[in-house]
């Protein structure tokens, strides 16, 4: 009787408890990611006038462009055609969206570390 109870306890642990905890952890990470993306979508766009001169602003902005160059381990430059912005990437998670021609990757977002 005790051995049968032990088998059920192990089965519950391996097929119920561990996957259940993992599912809630992944769901929590997805909610955090989605909340952060909504916060970022409300940030102001960077403009030349904010970055020109001695009183240039540092902080969080939105900017769309193409990678222009890489400097060292943690700095990149992005060019929009009108403005080039330097971005510090130390301790920043980067998420890549797959291109429409790359259908072999089933992940919607790929995280680089």
| Number of Cβ within a 10 Å radius of residue 46 | 20
Instruction: State the pLDDT confidence band at 1, using cuts at 50, 70 and 90.
Output: confident
What residues contact 66, with CB distance under 8 A and at least 6 apart? 78, 79, 80
Rounded to whole angstroms, the Cα distance separating 99 from 67 reads: 16
Residue 97: its H or E element: none
Q: What is the mean pLDDT of the chain?
A: 82
pLDDT higher than 60, residue 106: no
pLDDT at 104 over 80: no
Give the rounded percent of residues in the chain with a pLDDT score beyond 90: 37
pLDDT computed for residue 69 by the predictor: 93
What element of type H or E holds 48? helix 48-51
| 83 class by beta-carbon count within 10 Å (0-12 exposed, 13-18 middle, 19+ buried) | middle
User: φ, ψ for residue 66 (rounded to 5)?
Assistant: -110, 150
Q: How confident is the model at residue 31 (pLDDT cuts 50, 70, 90)?
A: very high
Who wins on pLDDT, 53 or 41?
41
Domain boundaries, the chain: 1-42, 44-113
């Amino acid at each position: 009787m005790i051995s049968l109870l032990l088998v059920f306890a192990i089965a519950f642990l391996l097929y119920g408890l561990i996957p259940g905890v993992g599912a809630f952890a992944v769901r929590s990470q997805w909610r955090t990611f989605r909340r952060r993306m909504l916060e970022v979508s409300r940030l102001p766009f960077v403009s030349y006038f904010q970055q020109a001169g001695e009183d240039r602003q540092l902080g969080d902005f939105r900017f769309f462009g193409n990678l222009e160059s890489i400097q060292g381990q943690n700095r990149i430059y992005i060019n929009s055609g009108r403005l080039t912005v330097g971005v510090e990437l130390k301790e920043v998670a980067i998420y890549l969206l797959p291109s429409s021609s790359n259908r072999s990757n089933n992940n919607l977002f790929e995280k680089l570390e």
